[in-house]
Structure 1
């Protein structure tokens, strides 16, 4: 039998202390988001978000307007019959995490039966809902209260279990970061927002996802689809510098406040355009650039990657001759965001080949696909329009 020496015992104590100090928090995240989530079992609370609204009206109102609440939307639904039961269950880990809502959704596709009556039909349409983050095995979890004395005994649903991890970026990781064994394209994970954040100054400064996407704990989760949110994360400028040989137009966009690549995923694209208008009224685009990670429809090949790291800028420089500048009246720098560019391409391609779908799936697939295509096609918006006008002295 091996004898435990004092040195070995001391080393073991150090290792145990290291685990308790540095691995405890990670353990909570791993347990809380162990996919697939376990069944809640017998509930003493109504899992419907509308029921939570009786006490948490502000959070409910914010959530109702988010993409989280629409995670089980047409863009998700139309694909399920095509990827099958197993593939659908994997996607539902993030889009409809609770096993009870999974069962309801799978039953609609003819892939199972509903046995738990606590979760009413329609619950599956709520996407990522209150229970997805806050309920585990019938117990309610949440962050520590900020501005009032914590008296758990006075709170309904038998109180809740406060955890500081709700305000850490790791809480968002499981649904916004590809696992280490996942597919990569040109050495990059399809979802790498958490990894990008970890490498940034934001992580070093202890600025977490929640600080930007849930300010003051608002359940909004705004991102690339929200113009106001994006404007807060970038800086733009336009200059027209007159020179002896003519002039130079300099347009700039800087990732000044986004804690990860801008844009993060392969889905959105950001278009930078420089337009001029002549004295005669002729308007034309003289330069353009695209920011984003462009992949083919099969997500197998990288076409280009022009995303900006935190603090990085992109410049568009255009030189004009004296003659060109003399005819110039106005310059515009326009930034356009297409938050669903990849989806639009992919949905359109599938719609073009809709006649090849299985007949027994068309009644489910086609209406959802058409609606998803319409939504993606209407998502583009103008973020910024800067203008320079020539003065009389110029």
Structure 2
């Protein structure tokens, strides 16, 4: 009998481990963002964001100005004929998640058939819209009220969509993970995922302090999702300084940029670049750039090779130090520290390279590809902006 007990104990432990690994109940995040999303089926409400906006005016107004609402833009559309139906469907998981809007896009490309549904033509151009996050199988989901009252009645047949199902997960960073984090099986460049924003946050002090993505990108639940393309948002996340220190042998110019409030690497992806420049101006009228640095993850056009990675972790700083001789300092009139952000640097390179070889595109794809590519290139070229200009004068 004694010999049997260890065997039984081992069997129990094995069964428990099997249950934990394979029979554990699937969490809300996994169900809600199981790509590809399931069809909504028959709807009793209009899924168009403008319809939602008739009641949720503030959220709709904010959403209209976001990159989420423009996820189906020229920079996305021109690439679809070139990556094919399967590749396009994978990209649409995040850019146009609902199967109904996917089908409308595929139909425009000649890869699908128009279906009779509440999703009218044009819905696909709304990108990541209200239904993408809040609607599943005809039911509306959202966060608990801001007052924290979990005892309210959320189902009411007398209001549109009969109320909603509250879920605490709407205020967790993991809610954003599926579209802002490469899966574990995804391609890596020099051991790094192309999308690792969630992972960067997870490894930071922000995660340990329970500061979620939504705290910064959806403050007070505003549906704005501001990021690297918004100067004011970026200014809230970094600190800059400029010092000119006189010394016996001349002077030292110290410029600093610190990632003081961004909860992930700055910048996060390989697309944006941040340029730091220090300029001097002398009483003679001569103006000279004496120091420069690029912050970002620079990859080749094929996303195969890392050229450099100078991104700043949360709390990390970059210093630009330059020394002037006594004679140079005596003639120094002004110093400028200029920080410029190019949110779409990689896209500019990639779009321009494709435009340069546009004559090699398949003839039957040119009517679709070329107008969108031209618009995408113009959009990318206009995205650059000056973030900070600090000045020292004698």
1:42-74: CA deviation from partner (whole Å, max 9, x where unpaired): 111110000000110000000000000000000
1:295-321: CA deviation from partner (whole Å, max 9, x where unpaired): 000000000000000000000000000
In 2, Cα distance between equivalents of 1:39 and 1:3: 51
Higher deviation after alignment, 364-373 or 150-159: 150-159
Q: TM-score, normalised by structure 2?
A: 0.94
In 2, Cα distance between equivalents of 1:10 and 1:375: 61
In 2, Cα distance between equivalents of 1:127 and 1:260: 25
In 1, Cα distance between equivalents of 2:261 and 2:118: 43
The 5 Å alignment of 1:88-167 reads 88-147=88-147, 150-154=152-156, 155-167=159-171
Secondary structure at the counterpart of residue 277 of structure 1: strand
1:13-55: CA deviation from partner (whole Å, max 9, x where unpaired): 9879989xxx76x711111000000000011111000000011
1:160-217: CA deviation from partner (whole Å, max 9, x where unpaired): 1100000000000000000000000000000000000010000000001000000000
Partner of 2:81: 81
Partner of 1:47: 47
In 2, Cα distance between equivalents of 1:384 and 1:291: 15
* CA root-mean-square deviation: 2.1
Deviation at 1:10, TM superposition (A): 8.5
Contact 2:42–2:117 at 8 Å: present in 1 too?
no
- 314, 332, 342: which one aligns with 1:338: 342
Structure 2 unpaired stretches of 5+: none
Secondary structure at the counterpart of residue 160 of structure 2: coil
In 1, Cα distance between equivalents of 2:239 and 2:184: 33
The 5 Å alignment of 1:233-248 reads 233-248=237-252
- 205, 214, 219: which one aligns with 2:218: 214
Secondary structure at the counterpart of residue 266 of structure 1: coil
In 1, Cα distance between equivalents of 2:363 and 2:169: 47
1:201-241: CA deviation from partner (whole Å, max 9, x where unpaired): 00000001000000000000000000000000000000000
In 1, Cα distance between equivalents of 2:89 and 2:383: 28
Higher deviation after alignment, 277-286 or 349-358: 277-286
Contact 1:234–1:256 at 8 Å: present in 2 too?
yes
In 2, Cα distance between equivalents of 1:3 and 1:130: 57
Q: TM-score, normalised by structure 1?
A: 0.94
Contact 2:172–2:212 at 8 Å: present in 1 too?
yes
The 5 Å alignment of 1:1-394 reads 27-147=27-147, 150-154=152-156, 155-390=159-394
